Structure 1
Amino acid sequence: MKKYCLGLLLTFCVQQPALADVELVFGIYTSDKATAMVKQFRPMLNVIETKMTSKLGEPVQIRMQISKNYQEGLNDLIDGKFDFARFGPASYILAKEANPQITLLAMESNNGSKTFNGVICVHSNSTIESVNDLKGKSFAFGDENSTIGRYLSQAYLAQHSIISKQLEHYSYLGRHDKVGTAVATEQFDAGALKENTFKKLVKKGAPLKAIAYFENVTKPWIASATLDEKITISLQETLLSITDPNALKAIKKDGFLLATDSDYKKIRMAMADTQFFNE
């Protein structure tokens, strides 16, 4: 009898498949140093893993993958190599244009707001006091797909009657910290970067001062078009419920907010604005 029961038990165990882990790839591109980005986002991913494991009733594991630049990250999301990602607004818009099935999960909350600032900075010893003084000067932009590092800063310059041909020269340097460092070492007269990176560099002793601020929309978290609907819904609900102070402090935000595509209307307008390149 014991042998019979044991046989039934073994048969049952063999027939029942083991509970498979949900393995997700979180994608991000290097707007700052890769090591700094791992330190910044791993605590948040750990919280997401724990919450989704509880919500789904099965183990969730998230691997972080950092693309070397904005375009590579964009391609990886469009091609389904990322399951979900944290991009800048401009990259979200480009991804959505390439694949309309990409899902907007949530947007970051900045003290309850959906906006934060970009900065135009110069060397602290510079005689440049405003953007009106930039004619004939050199300018460092970020990545060619960067919301702050390109689209919004170029639109801001054009609104203040500074267009490309009036600059001595300009270049796209990629990461925000590279822009700040290039201005601090006087390789360029001025540059555009996000306010958090500007403050971080100044705190470390970089000789920089801000001459202008402009408003940006907080970053969206988005899901690949190939991600299972059940996982997508769970991920969105998880993001909107996160209150962990350490994870939020690491990304310098206080939570997540519901987002719609219309939240990024002003970014679309800036991307379509070509005044900076007028002849």
Structure 2
Amino acid sequence: MEAFKERVTHGYIYKGNIPAYPRPEFHVSHLKHDTNQDGLRGIRKDNGFKSPGKGSLLWWSLVVGPDEITLAEKRLLETTYPDRTEEQAQTQQSFLGKFATSQAFKKSSRQGSYRFTFPLEEVLQAFGDQVCFGAQPVMRVFRTELHKTEVMYTVLVHSPTVEHLFSDLPLLSDDPNSVCSYKDGLFIWRSEAMCEEHRYKLVQKHDEKQMEAEEVSFHKYYVWDHVGVALHVDEHVLEFDADRLRENLKFCHRAKPAINGSSFEQFDQAQEVVKELWPDCPSPLEKAE
């Protein structure tokens, strides 16, 4: 993961005058794929996912919700204060959620009104069976993209049959200092920039062995980071059962800002589209939580 480390140290992540903030470790067991109506229709037609256009990569993102935030907060406290008492642990107030303000933690979508959410292991199993011909997928550090307010780290997943195409990229390791790693069926993301807008600063009370979020007078905007997962599917369709696709589909509201060119719909319209595509499914379309 050296590539991830090197490219975020040139005045990007470590800017001065930013209030102190936590750097927790999120253990992620699910991936999400957001799309618009055209993409949804294509997925239903193919009974699966494929790379758009003439590309070879299928893109997913990490799912980091309230449960992942709660567990990350617990890990951060236990790591920072391993000798805290039971009373100190019980009186500790939740604080990490106040820092989770970037798009990486929101229910809204920047790419369309439809979200498929799958267990990570199910995606990797399908990829291994269908693209790797039963072999174990290979994971590599792909690239780091720096934008005005966003840093995206990308993990590449590919078949060992195309090893020659990516042998120059470092393998994804379980280095505890890396931004992202894979271990025991989970992606481990060590976020370096949770906040889209810094409204709080982290206060560590060493005597009480506790942490808290203290509101700051002047809110600061800076960059936020997240992890993308690119599956090298080439011309393959990553297939899933039609009922499984519908089971894992939910509606998303539009994020602000959305990605240029993305199209969105109102919930009522989305319900009709999904009903048309899965006419035998009695369950109503739900909103992403």
Same fold (TM over 0.5): no
Structure ranking higher in helix proportion: 1
Structure ranking higher in strand proportion: 2
Q: TM-score range by the shorter chain?
A: under 0.3
Q: Which one scores higher on RCO, CA 8 angstroms, separation ≥ 6? A: 2
TM-score by structure 1 length?
Answer: 0.28
